[in-house]
Amino acid sequence: MEQLKFTYPAKRRVNKRAHVGVVGSGDLEVLLEPIAGDVAQVEIRTSVNGFSDAWKAVLDRFFNSYDGVVHIEINDAGGTPGSVQLRLEQAVEASEQ
Amino acid sequence: MNDRQLNENFINRQSFIELDARGRATALLDAGTQRELVGPFDRVESPWLAIQGVTPQADDGCVVMKGKIGGQAAVAIALEGAFQGGSMGEVSGEKMTAALDLALTDNERGIPTSAVILLETGGVRLQEANLGLAAIAELMASILALRKHSPVICLTAGTVGCFGGMALAAGLASYVVMTREARLGMNGPEVIEQENGVEEFDSSDRALIWGIHGGEQRYATGFADALVEDNTLRVAEAIRKFVLQGVPAVHRSSEVTLYSNRIESLDTSRQWDPKEFRSLWLKADAKEKTA
Protein backbone atom coordinates (compact mmCIF):
# COMPACT_ATOMS: atom_id res chain seq x y z
CA MET A 1 0.00 0.00 0.00
CA GLU A 2 1.24 3.48 -0.86
CA GLN A 3 0.16 6.85 0.58
CA LEU A 4 0.17 9.95 -1.59
CA LYS A 5 -0.67 13.59 -0.91
CA PHE A 6 -1.42 16.41 -3.33
CA THR A 7 -2.62 20.01 -3.00
CA TYR A 8 -4.19 22.27 -5.60
CA PRO A 9 -5.16 25.93 -5.50
CA ALA A 10 -8.92 26.36 -4.98
CA LYS A 11 -11.31 29.20 -4.19
CA ARG A 12 -14.96 28.09 -4.32
CA ARG A 13 -16.81 27.22 -1.09
CA VAL A 14 -18.55 23.86 -1.10
CA ASN A 15 -21.55 23.30 1.20
CA LYS A 16 -21.96 19.57 1.33
CA ARG A 17 -19.79 16.53 1.86
CA ALA A 18 -20.15 13.39 -0.23
CA HIS A 19 -19.13 9.75 -0.08
CA VAL A 20 -19.13 7.47 -3.13
CA GLY A 21 -17.67 4.11 -4.11
CA VAL A 22 -16.41 0.94 -2.50
CA VAL A 23 -12.87 -0.30 -1.84
CA GLY A 24 -13.46 -3.34 -4.03
CA SER A 25 -11.16 -4.81 -6.66
CA GLY A 26 -10.69 -2.27 -9.46
CA ASP A 27 -12.72 0.31 -7.58
CA LEU A 28 -12.20 3.01 -4.94
CA GLU A 29 -14.07 5.13 -2.42
CA VAL A 30 -13.96 8.92 -2.37
CA LEU A 31 -14.74 11.03 0.71
CA LEU A 32 -15.11 14.68 -0.21
CA GLU A 33 -15.50 17.28 2.56
CA PRO A 34 -15.58 21.10 2.56
CA ILE A 35 -12.67 22.72 4.46
CA ALA A 36 -11.47 26.25 5.22
CA GLY A 37 -8.58 27.95 3.40
CA ASP A 38 -7.60 28.34 -0.22
CA VAL A 39 -6.29 24.94 -1.26
CA ALA A 40 -7.82 21.59 -2.03
CA GLN A 41 -6.09 18.65 -0.36
CA VAL A 42 -6.04 15.11 -1.69
CA GLU A 43 -4.91 12.14 0.37
CA ILE A 44 -4.67 8.76 -1.29
CA ARG A 45 -4.12 5.26 0.01
CA THR A 46 -3.74 2.84 -2.85
CA SER A 47 -3.13 -0.90 -2.88
CA VAL A 48 -1.02 -0.59 -6.04
CA ASN A 49 2.47 0.89 -5.50
CA GLY A 50 4.48 2.92 -7.97
CA PHE A 51 1.80 4.87 -9.83
CA SER A 52 2.22 8.35 -8.33
CA ASP A 53 2.76 9.86 -11.80
CA ALA A 54 -0.52 8.44 -13.03
CA TRP A 55 -2.34 9.75 -9.93
CA LYS A 56 -0.81 13.20 -10.48
CA ALA A 57 -1.89 13.20 -14.13
CA VAL A 58 -5.49 12.26 -13.26
CA LEU A 59 -5.70 14.84 -10.47
CA ASP A 60 -4.05 17.60 -12.57
CA ARG A 61 -6.72 17.08 -15.18
CA PHE A 62 -9.53 16.94 -12.60
CA PHE A 63 -8.41 20.18 -10.89
CA ASN A 64 -8.21 21.94 -14.25
CA SER A 65 -11.96 22.25 -14.10
CA TYR A 66 -12.72 21.83 -10.36
CA ASP A 67 -12.01 24.65 -7.89
CA GLY A 68 -13.83 23.56 -4.69
CA VAL A 69 -12.00 24.09 -1.37
CA VAL A 70 -12.26 20.52 -0.19
CA HIS A 71 -10.41 17.68 1.44
CA ILE A 72 -10.58 14.55 -0.68
CA GLU A 73 -9.69 11.17 0.76
CA ILE A 74 -9.32 8.28 -1.64
CA ASN A 75 -9.11 4.64 -0.58
CA ASP A 76 -8.18 2.73 -3.69
CA ALA A 77 -8.15 -0.97 -4.53
CA GLY A 78 -6.64 -0.71 -8.00
CA GLY A 79 -9.04 1.59 -9.84
CA THR A 80 -7.96 2.49 -13.38
CA PRO A 81 -7.38 6.20 -14.19
CA GLY A 82 -10.78 6.15 -15.91
CA SER A 83 -12.64 4.85 -12.86
CA VAL A 84 -10.79 7.30 -10.60
CA GLN A 85 -11.92 10.17 -12.82
CA LEU A 86 -15.52 8.87 -12.78
CA ARG A 87 -15.60 8.43 -8.99
CA LEU A 88 -14.23 11.97 -8.52
CA GLU A 89 -16.91 13.39 -10.82
CA GLN A 90 -19.57 11.35 -9.05
CA ALA A 91 -18.42 12.73 -5.66
CA VAL A 92 -18.57 16.30 -7.00
CA GLU A 93 -22.06 15.69 -8.38
CA ALA A 94 -23.24 14.26 -5.05
CA SER A 95 -21.77 17.23 -3.16
CA GLU A 96 -23.56 19.73 -5.38
CA GLN A 97 -27.01 18.14 -5.45
CA MET B 1 -47.02 -14.03 -19.58
CA ASN B 2 -45.29 -13.91 -22.96
CA ASP B 3 -41.55 -13.60 -23.55
CA ARG B 4 -41.78 -9.93 -24.37
CA GLN B 5 -43.48 -9.13 -21.07
CA LEU B 6 -41.01 -11.30 -19.18
CA ASN B 7 -38.11 -9.45 -20.76
CA GLU B 8 -39.65 -6.08 -20.00
CA ASN B 9 -40.29 -7.01 -16.38
CA PHE B 10 -36.69 -8.15 -16.09
CA ILE B 11 -35.24 -5.05 -17.70
CA ASN B 12 -37.44 -2.59 -15.79
CA ARG B 13 -36.98 -4.14 -12.37
CA GLN B 14 -34.70 -2.42 -9.91
CA SER B 15 -32.08 -5.03 -9.11
CA PHE B 16 -31.28 -5.46 -5.41
CA ILE B 17 -28.07 -7.38 -6.04
CA GLU B 18 -26.62 -4.48 -8.01
CA LEU B 19 -26.94 -2.13 -5.02
CA ASP B 20 -24.01 -1.62 -2.67
CA ALA B 21 -24.38 -2.17 1.08
CA ARG B 22 -25.55 1.39 1.74
CA GLY B 23 -28.06 1.24 -1.10
CA ARG B 24 -29.42 -2.07 0.17
CA ALA B 25 -29.88 -0.88 3.76
CA THR B 26 -31.56 2.29 2.49
CA ALA B 27 -33.91 0.30 0.26
CA LEU B 28 -35.16 -1.94 3.09
CA LEU B 29 -36.10 0.87 5.49
CA ASP B 30 -39.21 3.01 5.03
CA ALA B 31 -38.48 6.03 2.82
CA GLY B 32 -37.42 9.09 4.79
CA THR B 33 -36.75 7.22 8.06
CA GLN B 34 -33.17 6.11 7.31
CA ARG B 35 -30.36 7.44 9.50
CA GLU B 36 -26.86 6.01 9.20
CA LEU B 37 -24.90 5.41 12.40
CA VAL B 38 -21.08 5.45 12.48
CA GLY B 39 -20.88 6.28 8.79
CA PRO B 40 -17.80 6.70 6.59
CA PHE B 41 -17.14 10.27 7.75
CA ASP B 42 -16.79 9.04 11.34
CA ARG B 43 -13.77 7.16 10.01
CA VAL B 44 -14.01 4.22 12.35
CA GLU B 45 -11.90 1.98 10.16
CA SER B 46 -9.91 -1.17 10.81
CA PRO B 47 -6.62 -0.38 12.59
CA TRP B 48 -5.13 -3.67 11.34
CA LEU B 49 -5.34 -3.51 7.57
CA ALA B 50 -3.03 -0.59 6.72
CA ILE B 51 -0.16 -2.07 8.76
CA GLN B 52 -0.51 -5.21 6.64
CA GLY B 53 -0.49 -3.23 3.41
CA VAL B 54 -4.23 -3.53 2.73
CA THR B 55 -6.24 -0.39 1.93
CA PRO B 56 -8.96 0.07 4.58
CA GLN B 57 -12.47 1.33 3.91
CA ALA B 58 -13.80 4.29 5.93
CA ASP B 59 -16.81 2.33 7.25
CA ASP B 60 -14.92 -1.00 7.47
CA GLY B 61 -17.39 -2.51 5.04
CA CYS B 62 -20.30 -2.41 7.48
CA VAL B 63 -23.26 -0.04 7.13
CA VAL B 64 -25.55 0.43 10.14
CA MET B 65 -28.82 2.24 9.49
CA LYS B 66 -31.62 2.96 11.92
CA GLY B 67 -35.15 3.61 10.70
CA LYS B 68 -38.53 1.97 10.36
CA ILE B 69 -39.85 -1.03 8.49
CA GLY B 70 -43.61 -1.12 7.97
CA GLY B 71 -43.84 1.71 10.50
CA GLN B 72 -41.98 -0.24 13.23
CA ALA B 73 -38.56 0.65 14.58
CA ALA B 74 -35.81 -1.39 12.94
CA VAL B 75 -32.09 -1.44 12.32
CA ALA B 76 -30.55 -2.62 9.06
CA ILE B 77 -26.95 -3.85 9.16
CA ALA B 78 -25.36 -4.45 5.78
CA LEU B 79 -21.99 -5.99 4.97
CA GLU B 80 -20.31 -4.74 1.79
CA GLY B 81 -19.42 -7.86 -0.17
CA ALA B 82 -17.06 -6.00 -2.50
CA PHE B 83 -14.76 -4.90 0.34
CA GLN B 84 -12.49 -7.75 1.47
CA GLY B 85 -15.19 -10.29 0.60
CA GLY B 86 -17.55 -8.82 3.18
CA SER B 87 -15.32 -10.30 5.86
CA MET B 88 -15.84 -9.70 9.57
CA GLY B 89 -13.11 -7.70 11.24
CA GLU B 90 -12.83 -6.21 14.70
CA VAL B 91 -14.54 -2.95 13.72
CA SER B 92 -17.26 -4.29 11.41
CA GLY B 93 -18.05 -6.96 14.00
CA GLU B 94 -18.30 -4.43 16.80
CA LYS B 95 -20.57 -2.23 14.68
CA MET B 96 -22.96 -5.15 14.08
CA THR B 97 -22.95 -6.29 17.70
CA ALA B 98 -23.36 -2.78 19.11
CA ALA B 99 -26.30 -2.13 16.77
CA LEU B 100 -28.04 -5.36 17.85
CA ASP B 101 -27.38 -4.59 21.53
CA LEU B 102 -28.88 -1.10 21.14
CA ALA B 103 -31.92 -2.70 19.51
CA LEU B 104 -32.14 -5.05 22.51
CA THR B 105 -32.05 -2.07 24.90
CA ASP B 106 -34.87 -0.43 22.95
CA ASN B 107 -36.93 -3.62 23.14
CA GLU B 108 -36.37 -3.81 26.89
CA ARG B 109 -37.57 -0.22 27.18
CA GLY B 110 -40.78 -1.14 25.43
CA ILE B 111 -39.92 -0.02 21.89
CA PRO B 112 -40.18 -3.13 19.68
CA THR B 113 -37.16 -2.94 17.35
CA SER B 114 -36.31 -5.66 14.87
CA ALA B 115 -33.04 -6.19 13.01
CA VAL B 116 -32.25 -7.06 9.42
CA ILE B 117 -28.73 -8.34 8.78
CA LEU B 118 -27.61 -8.28 5.16
CA LEU B 119 -24.95 -10.92 4.75
CA GLU B 120 -22.56 -10.91 1.81
CA THR B 121 -19.59 -12.44 3.49
CA GLY B 122 -16.93 -15.10 3.43
CA GLY B 123 -16.80 -15.08 7.25
CA VAL B 124 -13.86 -14.05 9.42
CA ARG B 125 -11.39 -11.54 7.97
CA LEU B 126 -8.18 -13.53 7.98
CA GLN B 127 -6.01 -10.42 8.48
CA GLU B 128 -7.75 -9.88 11.81
CA ALA B 129 -7.79 -13.53 12.81
CA ASN B 130 -8.91 -14.07 16.42
CA LEU B 131 -10.53 -10.64 16.63
CA GLY B 132 -12.80 -11.62 13.75
CA LEU B 133 -13.60 -14.97 15.36
CA ALA B 134 -14.39 -13.23 18.64
CA ALA B 135 -16.58 -10.76 16.76
CA ILE B 136 -18.67 -13.58 15.29
CA ALA B 137 -19.09 -15.19 18.72
CA GLU B 138 -20.28 -11.85 20.12
CA LEU B 139 -22.58 -11.33 17.17
CA MET B 140 -24.18 -14.73 17.74
CA ALA B 141 -24.71 -13.96 21.43
CA SER B 142 -26.36 -10.66 20.49
CA ILE B 143 -28.65 -12.33 17.93
CA LEU B 144 -29.75 -14.87 20.56
CA ALA B 145 -30.52 -12.10 23.05
CA LEU B 146 -32.44 -9.94 20.57
CA ARG B 147 -34.48 -12.67 18.89
CA LYS B 148 -36.43 -13.32 22.11
CA HIS B 149 -37.96 -9.85 21.79
CA SER B 150 -38.14 -9.05 18.07
CA PRO B 151 -37.38 -10.87 14.85
CA VAL B 152 -33.80 -10.94 13.58
CA ILE B 153 -33.93 -11.43 9.82
CA CYS B 154 -30.90 -12.48 7.79
CA LEU B 155 -30.97 -11.63 4.13
CA THR B 156 -28.41 -12.99 1.72
CA ALA B 157 -29.06 -11.70 -1.77
CA GLY B 158 -25.82 -12.49 -3.57
CA THR B 159 -23.63 -12.65 -5.34
CA VAL B 160 -20.99 -13.17 -2.62
CA GLY B 161 -23.31 -15.31 -0.49
CA CYS B 162 -22.89 -16.12 3.17
CA PHE B 163 -20.19 -18.50 4.33
CA GLY B 164 -18.03 -19.46 7.28
CA GLY B 165 -18.95 -18.42 10.79
CA MET B 166 -21.44 -15.94 9.41
CA ALA B 167 -23.50 -18.82 8.03
CA LEU B 168 -23.77 -20.04 11.62
CA ALA B 169 -24.96 -16.57 12.61
CA ALA B 170 -27.55 -16.76 9.82
CA GLY B 171 -28.63 -20.13 11.22
CA LEU B 172 -29.63 -18.37 14.45
CA ALA B 173 -31.87 -15.89 12.68
CA SER B 174 -35.63 -15.83 13.20
CA TYR B 175 -36.03 -15.82 9.42
CA VAL B 176 -33.66 -16.30 6.49
CA VAL B 177 -34.42 -14.67 3.14
CA MET B 178 -32.52 -15.57 -0.04
CA THR B 179 -32.55 -15.01 -3.78
CA ARG B 180 -31.81 -17.74 -6.33
CA GLU B 181 -28.44 -16.08 -6.95
CA ALA B 182 -27.41 -16.28 -3.29
CA ARG B 183 -25.52 -19.09 -1.60
CA LEU B 184 -25.46 -20.07 2.05
CA GLY B 185 -23.24 -22.62 3.73
CA MET B 186 -20.62 -23.15 6.42
CA ASN B 187 -17.80 -24.31 4.13
CA GLY B 188 -17.65 -22.79 0.68
CA PRO B 189 -17.05 -24.95 -2.41
CA GLU B 190 -13.35 -24.09 -2.69
CA VAL B 191 -12.73 -24.83 0.98
CA ILE B 192 -14.38 -28.25 0.68
CA GLU B 193 -12.39 -29.07 -2.45
CA GLN B 194 -9.15 -27.93 -0.84
CA GLU B 195 -9.74 -29.98 2.31
CA ASN B 196 -11.34 -33.14 0.88
CA GLY B 197 -10.33 -33.25 -2.75
CA VAL B 198 -12.12 -32.72 -6.03
CA GLU B 199 -13.93 -36.09 -5.72
CA GLU B 200 -15.75 -34.70 -2.70
CA PHE B 201 -16.63 -31.35 -4.23
CA ASP B 202 -15.74 -29.93 -7.64
CA SER B 203 -15.71 -26.19 -7.00
CA SER B 204 -15.75 -25.42 -10.73
CA ASP B 205 -19.15 -27.15 -11.09
CA ARG B 206 -21.54 -24.24 -10.76
CA ALA B 207 -24.67 -26.40 -11.07
CA LEU B 208 -23.44 -28.51 -8.15
CA ILE B 209 -22.60 -25.43 -6.08
CA TRP B 210 -26.06 -23.91 -6.54
CA GLY B 211 -27.63 -27.35 -6.12
CA ILE B 212 -26.20 -27.48 -2.62
CA HIS B 213 -25.62 -23.91 -1.41
CA GLY B 214 -28.04 -22.04 -3.68
CA GLY B 215 -31.10 -20.12 -2.51
CA GLU B 216 -33.57 -22.36 -4.31
CA GLN B 217 -32.20 -25.53 -2.68
CA ARG B 218 -31.91 -23.87 0.74
CA TYR B 219 -35.54 -22.78 0.50
CA ALA B 220 -36.74 -26.18 -0.76
CA THR B 221 -35.01 -27.93 2.15
CA GLY B 222 -36.29 -25.50 4.78
CA PHE B 223 -33.07 -23.64 5.59
CA ALA B 224 -34.48 -20.41 4.19
CA ASP B 225 -37.96 -19.04 4.89
CA ALA B 226 -38.44 -17.08 1.68
CA LEU B 227 -37.06 -17.17 -1.83
CA VAL B 228 -37.39 -13.81 -3.56
CA GLU B 229 -36.51 -12.60 -7.04
CA ASP B 230 -33.75 -10.05 -7.49
CA ASN B 231 -36.09 -7.08 -7.35
CA THR B 232 -35.73 -4.36 -4.72
CA LEU B 233 -39.49 -4.02 -4.15
CA ARG B 234 -39.97 -7.78 -3.74
CA VAL B 235 -37.03 -8.06 -1.33
CA ALA B 236 -38.29 -5.14 0.79
CA GLU B 237 -41.79 -6.68 0.80
CA ALA B 238 -40.47 -10.03 2.05
CA ILE B 239 -38.50 -8.33 4.83
CA ARG B 240 -41.51 -6.22 5.85
CA LYS B 241 -43.68 -9.34 6.00
CA PHE B 242 -41.31 -11.05 8.44
CA VAL B 243 -40.88 -7.91 10.57
CA LEU B 244 -44.66 -7.66 10.98
CA GLN B 245 -44.99 -11.42 11.56
CA GLY B 246 -42.95 -11.05 14.76
CA VAL B 247 -40.92 -13.64 16.64
CA PRO B 248 -41.55 -17.22 15.41
CA ALA B 249 -43.04 -19.72 17.90
CA VAL B 250 -39.95 -21.94 17.52
CA HIS B 251 -36.60 -20.85 16.07
CA ARG B 252 -35.03 -23.20 13.52
CA SER B 253 -31.83 -23.45 15.58
CA SER B 254 -33.82 -24.69 18.61
CA GLU B 255 -35.01 -27.76 16.70
CA VAL B 256 -31.99 -29.80 17.72
CA THR B 257 -33.74 -33.19 17.91
CA LEU B 258 -35.53 -32.68 14.61
CA TYR B 259 -32.32 -31.95 12.75
CA SER B 260 -30.17 -34.59 14.43
CA ASN B 261 -32.85 -37.17 13.58
CA ARG B 262 -32.92 -36.02 9.99
CA ILE B 263 -29.17 -36.23 9.65
CA GLU B 264 -29.12 -39.67 11.31
CA SER B 265 -31.71 -41.01 8.87
CA LEU B 266 -29.53 -40.06 5.87
CA ASP B 267 -27.75 -42.90 4.12
CA THR B 268 -24.26 -41.43 3.69
CA SER B 269 -22.81 -44.53 2.01
CA ARG B 270 -23.80 -43.12 -1.37
CA GLN B 271 -23.74 -39.74 -3.07
CA TRP B 272 -27.14 -38.02 -3.20
CA ASP B 273 -27.82 -35.54 -5.92
CA PRO B 274 -29.43 -32.23 -4.91
CA LYS B 275 -32.90 -33.12 -6.28
CA GLU B 276 -32.99 -36.53 -4.60
CA PHE B 277 -31.86 -34.90 -1.40
CA ARG B 278 -34.81 -32.51 -1.43
CA SER B 279 -37.40 -35.26 -1.55
CA LEU B 280 -35.49 -37.37 0.96
CA TRP B 281 -35.30 -34.47 3.40
CA LEU B 282 -39.03 -33.84 3.04
CA LYS B 283 -39.78 -37.56 3.45
CA ALA B 284 -37.77 -37.53 6.67
CA ASP B 285 -40.15 -34.80 7.79
CA ALA B 286 -43.23 -36.83 6.92
CA LYS B 287 -41.85 -39.81 8.87
CA GLU B 288 -41.40 -37.65 11.96
CA LYS B 289 -44.94 -36.35 11.68
CA THR B 290 -46.48 -39.83 11.46
CA ALA B 291 -44.22 -41.26 14.15
The CATH number of whichever domain residue B156 belongs to comes to 3.90.226.10
Q: Is A17 on the interface with B (CB under 8 A)?
A: yes
A19 → closest Cβ in B21, B41, B83: B41
- Tens of pLDDT, residues B55-81: 999 999 999 999 999 999 999 999 999
Asked if residue B73 belongs to a domain, the reply is yes
Residues B150 and B272 in one domain: no
Asked if residue B275 belongs to a domain, the reply is yes
Residues B155 and B273 in one domain: no
Q: How many domains does chain B have?
A: 2
Residues B189 and B260 in one domain: no
Reference B166, options B274, B235, B268, B85; nearest CA is B85
Q: Is B129 on the interface with A (CB under 8 A)?
A: no
Average of per-residue pLDDT across B84-91: 96
Burial of B24 (0-12, 13-18, 19+ CB in 10 A): buried
Give the residue numbers spanning the domain of B289: 255-291
Residues B279 and B246 in one domain: no
pLDDT band at B285 (very low <50, low <70, confident <90, very high): low
Average of per-residue pLDDT across B179-202: 93
Minimum CA–CA partner of A17 in chain B: B41
Supply the pLDDT for residue B1.
64
Residues B176 and B72 in one domain: yes
- Tens of pLDDT, residues B16-41: 999 999 999 999 999 999 999 999 99
Compute the distance between CA of residue B105 and CA of residue B110 in angstroms, rounded to an integer. 9
Asked if residue B40 belongs to a domain, the reply is yes
Comparison of pLDDT for B85 and B7, the residue scoring more: B85
Residues B204 and B238 in one domain: yes
Asked if residue B7 belongs to a domain, the reply is no
**Is 60 exceeded by the pLDDT of residue B289?**
no
Asked if residue B8 belongs to a domain, the reply is no
Which domains are assigned to chain A? 2-95 (3.30.230)
| Residues of chain A under the 70 pLDDT cut | none
ipTM for this model: 0.95
**Is 60 exceeded by the pLDDT of residue B290?**
no
Residues B87 and B189 in one domain: yes
Asked if residue B278 belongs to a domain, the reply is yes
pLDDT band at B288 (very low <50, low <70, confident <90, very high): low
Supply the pLDDT for residue B8.
83
Q: How far is A47 from chain B (nearest CA, A)?
A: 6
Residue A65 is inside which H or E element, if any? helix A52-65
Residues B165 and B277 in one domain: no
- Determine the number of helices (DSSP H) and then strands (DSSP E) in chain B: 11, 9
Compute CA distances B24 → A37, B134, B249, whole Å.
37, 26, 28
Asked if residue B141 belongs to a domain, the reply is yes
**DSSP class of residue B81?**
T
